[in-house]
Amino acid sequence: MILTVTLNAALDVTYEVAELVPGGTHRASAVHERAGGKGVNVARVLTALGRDRVLATGLAGGPAGAEITRELAAAGIPARFAPIAGDSRRTVTIVASGDATVFNEPGPVVTDGEWHGFRERFRALCGEAEVAVLSGSLPPGVPRDAYAQLTTDARARGVRVLLDADGEALRLGLAARPDVAKPNAAELARVAGPGPVAEAARSLLANGPGAVVVSRGADGLLAVTSAGTWSVRPPRPLSGNPTGAGDAVAAALARALRGTAPLDRAAPVDWPAVLADAAALSAAAVLAPVAGDVDLAAYRTFLQEISCHSPRQPR
């Protein structure tokens, strides 16, 4: 089972308007609501792929939290969120003539007791999981080293860990040695400092993760491990909604960690194949209009097209 953790789950609300006029009053022609947050998106992609048992967990509370769990159930995404007293956040996205403008609430305040309760739940769920995906921002009140704590808990139970975070949460989480860290280029620069991406990624390996996979938008993906560096470019220039593309990469990497695709678990990681798979799934997410969705037909096409550049570089 792949367990996805979303500590700052969101109810993602999308309004379609004809045109966004700052200072104006707009009538939304359509309103969409769905559960979101990076880990939820990963679970949604994995559910769409339909090959792995998946469970979404995290923290959810208040009216938005109730809507989050209701929508997950309606969408057929297995979920067991821990209730909290605070209100889960909403995000509001205004879509106007193809352009998306996003407003994020900061999230609920989580108490110490709620955090400890969640950690107990996470440890129990680790008994059923092979891979844990730790994704996204931390709500106020959750300790800054939350991902380090969860990584330690998971590794102690033989569960492989993918970490997709930013800033302090990422920096502290890396020290607990997740199997893979997946920052984007900006997140990498924030923890490793400026400089060439490959060097920055390699600098994280010393006391940290087994591999660093950097998602670089139109520049594709880069994987760095102690054994070498691999990169892959997107199958073709794409226009669409890049929100959720990184979550599709995380979904592909979680499957690779579990051994579902593209190789079985016992074998060493075939990074060229893993990156090609992740890039194809990411591109298929860009083509889908809503974060968390993937265009499965496009995914299969891209898998055929993609070429992986894998100069096995000596360190």
The residues annotated as belonging to the active site are: 247
Angle between helices 167-174 and 146-156 (to 10 degrees): 30
Alpha-carbon distance of 36 to 11, in angstroms, equals 6
Alpha-carbon distance of 147 to 5, in angstroms, equals 10
Residue 303 near residue 255, CB atoms below 8 Å: no
Sort 100 into a burial class: Cβ within 10 Å, 0-12 / 13-18 / 19+: middle
Q: CB 311 → a copy of itself: shortest distance, Å? A: 35
Q: Report the residue from 1, 28, 198, 205 that binds a copy of itself according to the rule CB under 8 A.
A: 28
Alpha-carbon distance of 146 to 153, in angstroms, equals 11
Which x/- pattern, by CB under 8 A, does the window 104-143 give for a copy of itself? xxx-------------------------------------
Q: Report the residue from 1, 26, 75, 227 that binds a copy of itself according to the rule CB under 8 A.
A: 26
> If binding is defined by CB under 8 A, does position 27 make contact with a copy of itself?
yes
Count, residues near a copy of itself per rule CB under 8 A: 29
Closer to a copy of itself by Cβ: residue 109 or 296: 109
- Chain CA centroid to CA 181, Å: 10
Sort 236 into a burial class: Cβ within 10 Å, 0-12 / 13-18 / 19+: exposed
Q: CB 45 → a copy of itself: shortest distance, Å? A: 21
Closest CA to 137 of 168, 115, 102: 168
- Chain CA centroid to CA 142, Å: 19
> If binding is defined by CB under 8 A, does position 239 make contact with a copy of itself?
no
Residue 38 near residue 250, CB atoms below 8 Å: yes
Q: CB 202 → a copy of itself: shortest distance, Å? A: 29
Closer to a copy of itself by Cβ: residue 113 or 140: 140
Which x/- pattern, by CB under 8 A, does the window 62-101 give for a copy of itself? -xx-xx----------------------x-x-x-x--xxx
Closer to a copy of itself by Cβ: residue 89 or 182: 89
Closer to a copy of itself by Cβ: residue 35 or 154: 35
> If binding is defined by CB under 8 A, does position 186 make contact with a copy of itself?
no
Binding site for a copy of itself (CB under 8 A): 13, 15, 17, 20-28, 31, 63-64, 66-67, 90, 92, 94, 96, 99-106
